[in-house]
Structure 1
């Protein structure tokens, strides 16, 4: 039995195929660089700048690290690229609006493997799944819109970190487990400007 969720895996972020109808915005300008800087007085908070705008964001509970490891709670201090978008169609019946990235809805059987010793490490998997994993269909709103970043995906290293996303922040901007989290209104502003050419530069 194949554990990996191939129906989502192949169509979304790894093969990086453009799905018909996902690139619907021609008016929104493409953004080439998105910079994330740590807050000077709080390492779990950051400032996300895009074009001439600056927005608050939440970072990992351990701040930013250039030595990212699985479970350390740190946001990778590197340059990453967005690969695709998952969203909760059951909560967003109207969709997410214009997007230049591949878009897929989160199903109830979608998980993400975070077991370094498993062949599916840092890959989407179909639930139930026997090894350690994260359920993408959360009770809270954090993954209502979830942009998958390319950290440790194209050339995976065991234990180098998994499930690094740009997602919706907790209302109180609580720290993440290593992701970058932004307010829903910020997500609406920047989502149409993201493409595979966008560089998300996390500065330590």
Structure 2
């Protein structure tokens, strides 16, 4: 592990000598991730992107991509675009990225089951804002908004999310 890696441990998320409180999926941590299980997958996951709401914050890093109206994330294993960002209208099951709440105002993308998605293996593992302390995600990593904003400009394409 390098200091530039994000490491999920029993006491939170470690990064650059700091420890941040975090939440994981309602299904716990698993080595057998499946679509809809609510679990966070074990592994070394590369950071592959950052998304943000330009109407709610300044660009957190020069490689961050704005979330526009109509941006969605496909979570339907029947779709050829499964586990990829898509645009509305979209006839398959999906998540709206431009949400009314602040959960996805800033999203760090991992390479879980991406770019070559295996149907049913589980869609996106994001690092995003948590709902509240201790409240689980659907499989992602949840952080306080201020911690997420501190982390985002300090990561790069060599950064990994390590979940043991």
Q: TM-score, normalised by structure 2?
A: 0.93
Q: Partner residue of 2:150?
A: 189
Which residue, out of 22, 38, 63, partners 1:57?
22
Render the CA deviation track for 1:4-61: whole Å, top value 9, x for unaligned. xxxxxxxxxxxxxxxxxxxxxxxxxx9532210245xxxxxxx101122111101100
- Superposition pairs of residues 83-98 of structure 1, within 5 angstroms: 83-92=48-57, 95-97=58-60
Separation in 1, partners of 2:156, 2:3:
8
Separation in 2, partners of 1:91, 1:52:
29
Q: Partner residue of 1:24?
A: none
Which residue, out of 83, 98, 101, partners 1:137?
98
Q: Partner residue of 1:111?
A: 72
Q: Which runs of 5+ in 2 are unaligned?
A: none
Q: Partner residue of 1:36?
A: 8
Which residue, out of 119, 130, 150, partners 2:111?
150
Is the CA contact 2:3–2:17 (under 8 Å) kept in the aligned structure 1?
A: no
Q: Partner residue of 1:26?
A: none
RMSD: 1.6
Moved runs in structure 1, 4+ residues, more than 3 A?
none
1:65 Cα shift? 0.5
Separation in 1, partners of 2:121, 2:6:
23
Is the CA contact 1:31–1:194 (under 8 Å) kept in the aligned structure 2?
A: no
Q: TM-score, normalised by structure 1?
A: 0.75
Separation in 2, partners of 1:188, 1:110:
21
Q: Partner residue of 1:21?
A: none
Q: Which runs of 5+ in 1 are unaligned?
A: 1-29, 40-46
**Which of the two has higher C-alpha Rg?**
1
